[in-house]
Amino acid sequence: MDERENLPAKLAAQGLAATAEKRGSLVGRGLMALRKDNDALYRQARAVYDRGGGIRNWNAAKNPAISAAFKIFQQLANENYGKAFYPLSILYGGNRDIEEGKNRAQHFAQLAFDWCFANQANQDAELWCDLGQMYELGCGVEKNDERAVHWFRKAAEQGDELGQFNLGLMYEDGLGVGQDGEQAVYWFRKAAEQGNADGQSWLGLMYRCGIGVPQNGEQAVYWFHKVAEQGNADGLVNIGLLYKYGDGVPQNGEQAMYWFHKAAEQGKAVGLVHIGEMYFSGSGVEKSDAQGVYWFRKAAEQGDADGQFELGYLYDEGRVVAQDYQEAVKWYRLAAEQGFTEAQCNLGWIYENGNGVPQDHKEAVKLFRMAADRGNTRGQESLRKLGIDWKK
């Protein structure tokens, strides 16, 4: 157990909270009213944050709703409102447009962890979920999957939908607990039945892939529709994919395009990538390479790694667009920096051959190893051909 788990409860009194307990004084009553207003502001911002995926790397400047939530969290943090520290640390970490974002992220991560542990006895499931995510991500504390499971389970057993969903993910990935598809399905279902869109989406995926349950396309469609009805972007993409491939529903390109466009309208850039693919294949729409490139570029410019890779590949191969290795390097690099292993491999080959960049054997090996360490077999094979044991 982390030694900071024994922080005295007095650290929970973050100035405002401590003074507000003096209910008998005029100042105390005023501060209680202020805190009530802050609670309402926090709930408003937190709802947007959770709908937007929470721990994903949001770029606030490119998402008006998240940007508004970000500003509320900043305002609350300035008033020492402890619950705002954790989401603020994540948003600083994912916002490349804020100078010193990394340092600010680390600052608020430390404040968040200390504040959450000081308040851990408050029977607050949301706080427990945040602690679990901090341990899972190594945010303000050393990464520890077992401790993450502990906190997610506390929240889940209290009936909290986010705790249930996160615990399901830990079972699905085998992080901090033995990998167990049936347990993952159990917790995803618990969250899904409470209307949690992520739980519904993952439950649909488990049925689609036959993990933890018998494969069942109809059940996958049922849960993806539940997600889509909430306007959840991941659900919209998933149901579009079902129609695209005829998985559990009759194949229908026009329906696939409809759902991909709905996802794109929700700010889901991968929806743009699928729209581009539909134009290239002429499925559900008149074939148009120019439109395919247009939608790939839109996704890439929004920071989507799939879109960046696809656009880089077109420039690399000279397909539809004039071959341009410098443009290929530009887009491959952006995707590679997000951990996209195929982009890392292709960028490695470019450096190995000196296409558009000075030939650089060390850089190629570095990129191949990055991909290999993430399980990419092409990266592993590229290292073997160079006489390098990728496991070292």
Domain ranges within the chain, ordered by starting residue? 1-122, 304-392
Instruction: Give CA–CA dist 127/108, Å, rounded.
Output: 15
Nearest Cα to Cα of residue 219 among 244, 245, 253, 192 = 192
**Which CATH class name applies to 304-392?**
mainly alpha
Any alpha helices (H) in the chain, and if so which ranges?
16-20, 26-51, 64-78, 85-94, 101-118, 125-137, 145-157, 161-173, 181-193, 197-209, 217-229, 233-245, 253-265, 269-281, 289-301, 305-317, 325-336, 341-353, 361-373, 377-385
Q: Going by C-beta distance under 8 Å and a sequence separation of 6 or more, which residues neighbour residue 29?
A: 23
| pTM for the predicted model, two decimal places | 0.67
Q: Of 297, 317, 315, 316, which is closest to residue 307 (Cα–Cα)?
A: 297
pLDDT tens digits, 115-136: 877 877 777 888 898 888 888 8
Q: Does residue 16 register a pLDDT over 60?
A: no
Express as a percent the part of the chain with pLDDT over 90: 46
Share of the chain above pLDDT 70, in %: 84
For position 174, what pLDDT does the model report?
Answer: 95
**Neighbour tally for 51: CB within 10 Å:** 18
Mean pLDDT of the chain: 82
pLDDT band of residue 53 (cuts 50, 70, 90) is: low
Query: At CA 224, angle to CA 218 and CA 229, rounded to 5?
Result: 125
Mean pLDDT along residues 254-260:
93
